[in-house]
Structure formats: structure tokens, C-alpha cells
Structure 1
Amino acid sequence: MRLLLGVQAIRNHLARTYSSARFKKMATDVKFNESLGCTDPQTHPVLIIGQLRHLNLLKFSHLESKLSPRVNEETFLNAVACLHPAPTDKVSLYLDVATVAALPLKSSRHNTASRAHAITRLVKNHVLNVSEESVVLVCERENLFASACAVVRAFPLYSRKTGNLLASSQSKNLGCGDGNANSGRNVVNVEFVLINKDGCIENEPLTDDELNCLNETTRAIRMTARLVDMPCNEMNVDHFIQEVEDVGRELCITPKVIRGEKLLEQGFGGIYGVGKAAAVPPALVVLSHEPKGAQETIALVGKGIVYDTGGLSIKAKTGMPGMKRDCGGAAAILGAFYAAVQCGFRDNLHAVFCLAENSVGPNATRPDDIHTLYSGRTVEINNTDAEGRLVLADGVCYANKDLKANIILDMATLTGAQDRQNAQSSCAGLFIAAHLGFDYPGTWIHVDMATPVHCGERATGYGVALLLTLFGGHTDSKLLQSIAPTDEEPPLKRCCRD
């Protein structure tokens, strides 16, 4: 009888602690801590995530500050021994407020060494959305950045559901760790147990440099996901330009804006032709970061189709929902540009946004129309739903001709029905390269991110972490420098060649 009364008391306490009023708070702050804090899981739930081989290296003392007094050493060791990930697995340590979860045993091209996809799923499914809780990541230091980004993707900002309008109105300013007890927002504390190459637990806390990098990246990823999640009636070309201006204001940069008829006058036939039928005119917008002593000029060009009806080659009723996400490339570049500058980007960095709504109207581009693009080349239109390559062709040519970039990367949600019918999604990339010029002496990279831009109904903020990793060597952040590509040939490539 005493045991039953004790269980009932715990249930009553949990009901009070995790009341329905708390679940109404949609917005969540993500806060990174330098080391493990001391909390009681009964009032501060904890989710521990790691690969099984890493979890087996842990002693109870490494996590005692997050589990005591509710979980003892025997319970923890037995729980880890019971984990059999296929592909993931979890075991409850104390009711549903203390959980340990194992990531997939193997990685593949779909799930990298950090198992980032699985981390996001586990966090989405097992956090309790209460006022404050913790996620503890057990990983190697080289996977710290990817693992942190995976957690961030589990907490989208945008919502217009009735009852969450207050959270939605606040979401634009949300980032990480700036909430307080009276803010009405939940807080998820993200903490790390890092394992070195020798299989030993590191005792050093995260540095200020690492925390700053993670915080700025968090803001960038969540901003990118918010822009992609917003529908066109709330995120048209005007709204997107305002977002660019807001970022520029924070970075003390004034964007260059070319829009409407001026696009046609200056030769941007691709962007103008795609967006001229919409009520809100198209635009080319450029943010430029040009520090003293720069050695290289990098241009990031983003496809920003705020909605894609397909134009006169209109999409079917089942193919059009979700086309608000066609600005995913431009959104990712805006987020990456913000985070890169905040992390001390040392070279010239330009963000070029090709913004338009591919709409239907009396002035819409028709199949058989011919446009002259910024490259000077003429293009005959045979499918108005293949608009992405047109706006990007103008963008990359501008990056070459006007910005004199020696490294150009374009990012877009391009792979659609038109590309699959052409057998290869690389057709759009080759189209862009033809306008840039196959004799372009610099480095050109084409990133098609149509699939990872969203997972289910929500945007992922994809592209920010990729770009920060790719160009991390150009920043002052030691964390980004440590994961950036080097000139060394990858070991696997050497093995395959030999």
C-alpha cells in the first residue's frame, strides 16, 4: 500500500510539473552549456544520446550530476547493457523523465558519422516540452558541431496555430539561451560529454569560442527553417528583402537591391522573366562582407522562389502544396552568411539572393518565349516550371562579372519532375555552368538540396551547417577550422586509388 501511495504521489507531482498550460508554449530556446549542470530529473528531465560504443565507455560518475538522486549506478549500467539499437533504441532510467538512447551502429551516406539524422528524430520524439530540460550528447569532439546542429533542427520556430500566435510573434527574435523564467518559453539545455581519440572522457569544458560558434549557428539554422516554413502570404519577395535588411542591419551591412523593371534594364532576363507575372516584383539582392586583408572572394548564390506554381506550365494539384519551400537555397545562404560573419569571416563574402514568385498572370512567361540572360545568352523557354536554373544563371554570372568571385557556390531546390524526365538532376547544373562559362577559371560548386530542405511538414534549416563546415577555414572560429576540409587527400580516396 505504501508503494502504491508513493507512485500516486509521483504521478500527482508530474501532473503539476508538466501541466497542460506548459505544453501551450510553442517556442523553445536552445541553450548550450559549457559543461554538465547539476539537476534533478524529476524536476528537470534529461535525455542522454550517444553511440553504443561511447555509452559503454561512460562511468556513472560522468553523468551522476544529471541523474542523482533518482537513478543509481546499477540502474544506469543495466540500462546501457539493455540497449540494442536497430537502428536506434532507448531505455527509461526513471519514469519518462530520464532516458538513455543509442544511435545507429552503422553510418551511411544518408546518416553521417555523427548520426545527425537519428539525433534529430530522437530529440523530436522524446523531449517532453516542459519549461526546462536537458539533452546530453555523448560524442567525439569531431562530431560536436554536427551533433549540436542536429539537436537544433528538432525545434522549429514558426507556428500559426491558434493558441500559439504569441509564440509566433516572438519567434523572429528567438535564438538560443536568451529566455528567462518570465518569458513564457521553454528552455532546452544542450550539454556534451566528449570522448577523445584514445577513448577517454575529456574533462575540459567548452570554450567561449565554441559556445559562440554554436549559438550563432543555432540562430542561423532556426532563422533559415523559419523562412522556409512561412507561407507566401507571409514570406513574399518584399518580406524576404526585409529579412535580408534585418540581417544586414545587425551586421552593419547595407544590401544592394535591384528589382522590378530595373532587372530587365540591367540585363537580368532570367530573374525578371520568372517573376514578372507576380503581384510583388522580383529582385536581386546582395549582401557583401569585405574585410581588410581579404585574399579570396567567395560568392554564395541562392535560389529564392518564394512560391512556385510552375507558371503557365502549371503544377498539378498534388504537386503544388509545399512549394513555399522553393526559397530554401536563399534562406540557407542568408543564415550561413549571418553565422559566417559573426564567426569572423576573413575573406570577401557575398550572398546573392535571386528572389521571385513563379506565378500565373497576363504577363507570365509563355513556353516558346525567348529571354536574354545576364550572360548575354538567349534562352528559349519550353517549360516555365524549370525556373530555378534561369534565376541562378543570372546570379552566378553576376557573381563572376560584377563581384569578381574566384569561388562561386549556388544552392537551390532544383530537382523536380522536369529534371527526372531529363534523366539526370545535373541537367540544371550544367545549364547554370553554361552561362557561367565552362572556361571559368575559378571554383564553381552546385548544391541541389531539394530533398533535405524539409523533413515531413517542417523545414530543417539545411545548408547552414554545410556551408559553415565547407568554408570554416576562412573564419576565426577554431571549432569551424577543426572540421573544415583540408588540402590533404582523404584516406579512403587514397585506399581506393591504391
Structure 2
Amino acid sequence: MANVLLEFKASAGDSEPQNRPVLIVGQLANLQQANWTQVKGKLQPVVTKELWQAALSSLNPNPTDSCPLYLSHAAVAALPSRVSRHNSPSSAHFLTRLIRTCLPAGNNRCIVMVCERTEVFASACAIARAFPLFTRRSASSRRTEKKHVTLEFITVGQDNGPLELSTLECLANAADGVRLAARIVDTPCSEMNTDDFLEEIKTVGNALGITPTIIRGEELKQKGFGGIYGVGKAALNPPALAVLSHTPSGATQTIAWVGKGIVYDTGGLSIKGKTTMPGMKRDCGGAAAILGAFKATIKQGFKDNLHAVFCLAENSVGPAATRPDDIHTLYSGKTVEINNTDAEGRLVLSDGVVYASKDLSADIILDMATLTGAQGISTGKHHAAVMTNSEQWELACVRAGRSSGDLAHPLVYCPELHFSEFTSALADMKNSVADRENAQSSCAGLFIASHLGFDWPGVWVHVDIASPVHAGERATGFGVAPLLSLFGQASEDPLLNSVSPLGAATVKNASEDQMERDCKRRRLV
């Protein structure tokens, strides 16, 4: 599926299944609401109205089900009829799985998605991740012709009708961002080292008319970025901090997204084992998601200042590698005693968030990272772990996960109980906890927050995507969709406005005292 062109259309047009294989998918109730006249052009003459209705009657989703309509050329698939409160109404994970398993083969295919309008955004992102871009299979490299998949939405319920061109453009950009992030994460370090990642950043910058700011190699050391430099100094390709900045006139606040971009993580001298090191090309998943989301967000128009900060390094082994017991001074000015070189992500992110605060004057800082293996234990393979100094933003992140399909669940935020895990007799703190059974993922997030300061007046959000960044051996592009949703209220795009949890309804629930304390939070919260 790597050589697939995905196209969103208000109407995919009519074609017989033999000429263009088709998959029609949705919740059973939605499929039953769809009018025969809306689907018959993709099915006739080989599939009649009676056969269509018989297929719907045979579906018994538990949690999903599918039924062939005509040989291997046409099929209908049903999503779960109900989901729990911690899942997305779009059933995004099941949708991706159904697309992978039920879409008929062919060079020119069609997907008809039947859903409510509120689920269009999440469904589009879920379908996009079923078509990864990266492959090095020899058969794929010999194939020059691109496969084509056309996606049409049939909306049911309230506000039904064909999608507007602006909505289709937004869906296409969101899907492009998801697939870009997944491609970067899937690419091995031999082809995606720090310099290659910088080229990806420059390519996105060129497409948006933005020149990135880049601090690289020894310049990082000279300017005090002890975290990024210390992690990446042993690698053949030097570490770097790169920034893409969107600064429109009339902006009322400044937002920074900070991504962990460890292009490969050996663990350093605290080296990983032969079973835990494979897959560590994915340790740049946070930076990849932020790059994909930034590209889509700016293409759709964004009213406020938005900076994408990429903390790039390869945690390698060599004569110059950081040793356990070394003490680094980070960009915050705080000193860190290294007791685990495999706890490197928090070091680079700490430099990144402090740069966002000090140099970019950010009011809202969100960092995204494949930070801890413990994240999968805390919130599972499908839900990112979220930690923030704001209860409202915690709730907003969970809602953004449900509306985007990339789910999230809160971690404990309690620095007064947990930060003592980093106590050092020689420095301001150690970089790894004393007790690995005491809220590991929460503690890792607190390490980053401590460099901003626990009394920092702005909004800080930490998103750990270690497990959901991949499904099996493939990257998912996780993180792009919830960023677009979470900050959709500042977008110029109506669809992103509609899926954002940060709107007027949330403002009404905020206490007046909290709004007075920080007026710059008020517009989004």
C-alpha cells in the first residue's frame, strides 16, 4: 500500500465493481440509513438493491463484521455499534483495521465511508493510516504506477449532505500529515538520521514559505543546550535543534509544540538488549507527529503564533558518549546527574521547552514524545498518556482524542509527591527515578516540567505516545490528528473549529479567578 494516492472527493462517481473495486463501511445503523440511490452507482449492475439489503441484514458486528457483495470486487463492512466512554465514537482503530483487511485489491479502488458529520475528521485520519508510504520491498520499487484510492463520505443524521470543498481540502491535508509522520517513523536511521530529518523540516518549511532556525553540533554546546548536545554528541551525524515559526499579524498568543526526535535510541552506554533495541527508529515519533501536524495546521490557516520545535539527536555509543555519573547543565541552567543514559528523551525535551519559554515567549507549550515504555503499562497501546499543569487542558486533551480518533488518557500530576524520585546529592537532580515502581511515566513528565518550573504561569501539556506510535511493525502517524483537533479553535478552518474541544462551552466552565490569573489562556480555554 506504499504506492497509493489517496484522494478525497464529494462524489467518487459511478463505476462497476469489476472496473473499480469498492468497500462501503460504517456503523450498521448508519449503513441502514444510507439511501440505496447513494450507493447503487458503485455497485450496479452486479449488486442489486435486494442483495444490498440482504447483506446488511446478515451483518452482526461483534465488534466488527463484513460481507462480500460481488466476488472479490465489492464488500460492505460494519464498525462496532457502540463504544465505551474512553473510545472514539468514530471507532477509528477498528476502521483502520477494516480498511486493511476488507478493501478489495486493485489499482483503482473506492472507499465509501458512511458516518455522521461529527465523525468525518476522525474517520479520514483513520483511513489515511491504513496506507503507509514507506517500503523497501523490491517488488514495490519496480512498480512505477501509483495505485489510486478515492474516498467518498456519505453523511447521515443531522447536517447530512455532500462535504464542502474546504472540508475535503482539510481532510486531505490532515491525511497527508498523518502519512508524513508515519513515513518518517517507519524509515530506518540509515536513511533518517538527524541530517535527513532536518531536510524533512526544510522541505515542509519550503512548502509553507518558512525558513527554519537551526542550531546544530558544537553550537548547541556553546549556547548551553546541554541536554540535546549530551545525548547526541557521540553520533556520526550531529544533534540539532530546529524551529519552524508561523507568526501572523494579529496573533494574540504564542503556542509552541516541542517534539522529541531521537532518530535512533541504542540506550547509550546504558545499552538496550537485543530484544528491546529493534524498533527504536520510532523514537522520533513525537517530532514526526509535530512536523505532520504543523504542515497541515498552517496550510489550513492559523490565527496565532505557532512554533514547532524539533529536538533531534541519535543516542549512540562511542568514545564521546555520555557516561553514567556525568553531570550536564541544561538550557534551564539546572544541573543533571546522569544515572541512566537510556532516559535521554527527557533531557532533549527539557532543553526544547525552556527554549520555547525563554526564546519564543510561548504562553502554551505542548511537548510530544515516545518517552517511556511504562506509558503502555499506564494507558495501554491505543491511548496516549497526557500530563498537564491545567485541569481544563487535561480534559480538553481527552476530548480531542475522542474527536480525532487518536485517544488520550490522563496521568497523575503530583510533583510534590513524585519529584523527589530524582533527588541527587551532587546536582540539582538525576535524570532517572530511584523507584521504577512509582509512576514512571508521570515522573518522566515531571522531569521536563521541572525545567520550566512547577510555578510557570503558562499552560504546559506533555503527551507520551510511546505505544500508540506504532501498531505491530508499522507506524501509525499518531499525534497529528489530536494536535489539529486540540488547537482547532485557533484555526481558520471550520472543520477544525468544529472538532476542537477548546471553545465557548469550555470557557463557561472556567472559574473567573483562573481566567484573571492568566488572560492569555482565555482565548483557547
Distance 1:255 1:390 in 2: 22
Report if aligned partners of 2:258, 2:353 keep a CA contact under 8 Å in 1.
Answer: yes
- Residue in 2 that maps onto 1:237: 194
Q: Deviation of residue 217 (structure 1)? A: 1.3
Paired residue secondary structure (1:249): helix
Distance 1:88 1:441 in 2: 46
Report if aligned partners of 2:488, 2:497 keep a CA contact under 8 Å in 1.
Answer: yes
Q: Deviation of residue 422 (structure 1)? A: 4.4
Distance 2:228 2:344 in 1: 9
Quick one: which amino acid aligns to residue 292 of structure 1?
A: S
- Residue in 2 that maps onto 1:474: 490
Distance 2:44 2:21 in 1: 12
- Residue in 1 that maps onto 2:135: 159
- Residue in 2 that maps onto 1:172: none
After superposition, the C-alpha distances for 1:243-297 in whole angstroms (9 at most, x for unaligned) are 1011111111110110111111111000000001111110000010101111110
- Residue in 2 that maps onto 1:123: 99
Query: Is 1:190–2:151 an aligned residue pair?
Result: yes
Q: Deviation of residue 410 (structure 1)? A: 0.1
**Counterparts in 2 of 1:420-459, with a 5 A limit?**
421-459=437-475
Report if aligned partners of 2:75, 2:104 keep a CA contact under 8 Å in 1.
Answer: no
Count of equivalent residues: 450
Distance 1:242 1:33 in 2: 31
Task: Decide which of 470, 483, 488 is 2:499's aligned counterpart.
Answer: 483
Q: Deviation of residue 473 (structure 1)? A: 1.1
| Bigger mean CA offset, 250-259 vs 420-429 | 420-429
- Residue in 2 that maps onto 1:46: 22
Distance 2:350 2:338 in 1: 14
| Bigger mean CA offset, 451-460 vs 484-493 | 484-493
Distance 1:195 1:260 in 2: 54
Q: Deviation of residue 36 (structure 1)? A: 4.3
Closer, same or farther: CA 152–490 of 1 in aligned 2, 3 Å = farther
Q: Deviation of residue 426 (structure 1)? A: 1.0
- Residue in 2 that maps onto 1:6: none
Report if aligned partners of 2:217, 2:240 keep a CA contact under 8 Å in 1.
Answer: yes
Q: TM-score under structure 1 normalisation?
A: 0.87
Closer, same or farther: CA 421–365 of 1 in aligned 2, 3 Å = farther
| Bigger mean CA offset, 307-316 vs 434-443 | 434-443
- Residue in 1 that maps onto 2:389: none
Q: Deviation of residue 378 (structure 1)? A: 0.4
Distance 2:507 2:272 in 1: 43
Task: Decide which of 208, 212, 236 is 2:169's aligned counterpart.
Answer: 212
**Counterparts in 2 of 1:99-138, with a 5 A limit?**
99-108=75-84, 111-138=87-114
Quick one: which amino acid aligns to residue 271 of structure 1?
A: I
Quick one: which amino acid aligns to residue 467 of structure 2?
A: T
Q: Deviation of residue 64 (structure 1)? A: 1.1
Query: Is 1:61–2:78 an aligned residue pair?
Result: no
After superposition, the C-alpha distances for 1:17-51 in whole angstroms (9 at most, x for unaligned) are xxxxxxxx840000101124211112111101111
| Bigger mean CA offset, 110-119 vs 471-480 | 110-119
Q: Deviation of residue 61 (structure 1)? A: 2.0
Distance 1:250 1:313 in 2: 40
Distance 1:488 1:482 in 2: 12
- Residue in 1 that maps onto 2:223: 266
Quick one: which amino acid aligns to residue 394 of structure 1?
A: D
Report if aligned partners of 1:366, 1:381 keep a CA contact under 8 Å in 2.
Answer: yes
Q: Deviation of residue 160 (structure 1)? A: 0.8
- Residue in 2 that maps onto 1:246: 203
- Residue in 1 that maps onto 2:116: 140
Quick one: which amino acid aligns to residue 488 of structure 1?
A: A
**Counterparts in 2 of 1:36-435, with a 5 A limit?**
36-108=12-84, 111-165=87-141, 184-197=145-158, 202-203=160-161, 205-416=162-373, 421-435=437-451
| Bigger mean CA offset, 436-445 vs 50-59 | 50-59
Report if aligned partners of 1:129, 1:186 keep a CA contact under 8 Å in 2.
Answer: no
What stretches of structure 1 move > 4 A for 4+ residues in a row?
417-422, 489-493
Distance 1:472 1:146 in 2: 13
After superposition, the C-alpha distances for 1:5-27 in whole angstroms (9 at most, x for unaligned) are xxxxxxxxxxxxxxxxxxxx840
Q: Deviation of residue 130 (structure 1)? A: 1.1
Closer, same or farther: CA 397–166 of 1 in aligned 2, 3 Å = farther
Q: Deviation of residue 65 (structure 1)? A: 1.3
Report if aligned partners of 1:88, 1:118 keep a CA contact under 8 Å in 2.
Answer: yes
The gaps in structure 2 that reach 5 residues or longer are 375-431, 511-525
Report if aligned partners of 2:327, 2:338 keep a CA contact under 8 Å in 1.
Answer: yes
Q: Deviation of residue 487 (structure 1)? A: 4.1
Distance 1:437 1:119 in 2: 41
The gaps in structure 1 that reach 5 residues or longer are 1-24, 168-182, 494-498
Closer, same or farther: CA 460–28 of 1 in aligned 2, 3 Å = same
Report if aligned partners of 2:12, 2:110 keep a CA contact under 8 Å in 1.
Answer: no
Distance 1:488 1:462 in 2: 27
Q: Deviation of residue 109 (structure 1)? A: 5.9
